[in-house]
Amino acid sequence: MRDFPSCFGENGVQVADSSSSSTSKTAQNLVTCVYQCRLQGKSCLITVTWSKNLMGQGLTVGIDDLANQCLCKVDIKPWLFSKRKGSKSLEADSSRIDIYWDLSSAKFGSRPEPLEGFYLAVVSDREMVLLLGDLRKEAYKKTNVTSVGDSNSIFIAKREHVFGKRVFGTMAQFCDKGQIHDVRIECDSVAVNDPCLLICIDSKTVMQVKRLGWKFRGNHTILVDGLPVEVFWDVHNWLFGSAMGNAVFMFQTCLSAEKLWASQKLSDPTILPLSCSQRFRDSQLQDLGFSLILYAWKNE
């Protein structure tokens, strides 16, 4: 895979200079999800990025093979009324790929991705490669897929920008088709002399890091749904960087996550997207589970 997400341009979701306030405000409005799928009998990665700005919600879909080649990508801007529902046909390796979407009745919360009332479908040779959303019946009717059933896609990675003052939260599914959990990170790095880091899953504290000034980078294993989840954190920018610096957290459902993490540089958000993409690809190739990357930006 190339820069994260796989098929997007260099400025697609990459965070620029962390000292720029406009960067952080833009960064919080991006959620990128990676799915392992089967396309023409071969494994591929489909990257879906939901974005949000003053104009409304946006969507980008990229398809990448496992040989570092971008097969195709499409940008959808549903804030334009005519684009909230539609389809687009693309060519990849002499095969036709059809992307269908319907966001005309979608309901959105505070995050860029829709909560319900939508579908996003990727179809090839009348087979469902990837299907997202709750309007599954409508999606199958629109796409004319021959067999109705779940696609063989696996949700393997997510990257999200979260924004707050002391508490940062998201929803995460640590195993494919598993329970959705409320993940909350709490840290007051300004108001106290000895800041403490707390991570809660479904309102239960699962990890606490005291003396954060000495332990601003580290890792710890927690259990979620009976699975070991390795948590890595880097809050150096919160404690010692600029006022608009971000912290980085990674949740990896594998026992050997540290081997993938050890060679990465977390302190520079302009480097991390590339390292994330390689880590996600390694994770997919080695069947190492699910990866969640959170960029936590503090309000001024």
pLDDT in tens, 53-87: 777 788 999 998 876 677 888 888 766 656 788 89
Burial class (CB in 10 A: 0-12, 13-18, 19+), 207: middle
Averaged pLDDT, 205-223: 92
Asked if the model's pLDDT at residue 250 lies above 90, the reply is: yes
137's CB contacts (< 8 A; 6+ apart) are none
pLDDT at 299: 77
pLDDT at 232: 95
Local confidence band at 226 (pLDDT 50, 70, 90 cut-offs)? confident
Asked if the model's pLDDT at residue 92 lies above 70, the reply is: yes
pLDDT in tens, 131-164: 999 999 999 999 988 766 667 788 889 999 998 8
The DSSP string of 100-154 is EEE-TT-EE-SSSSEEES-EEEEEETTEEEEEEES-HHHHHHHHT-SS-S----E
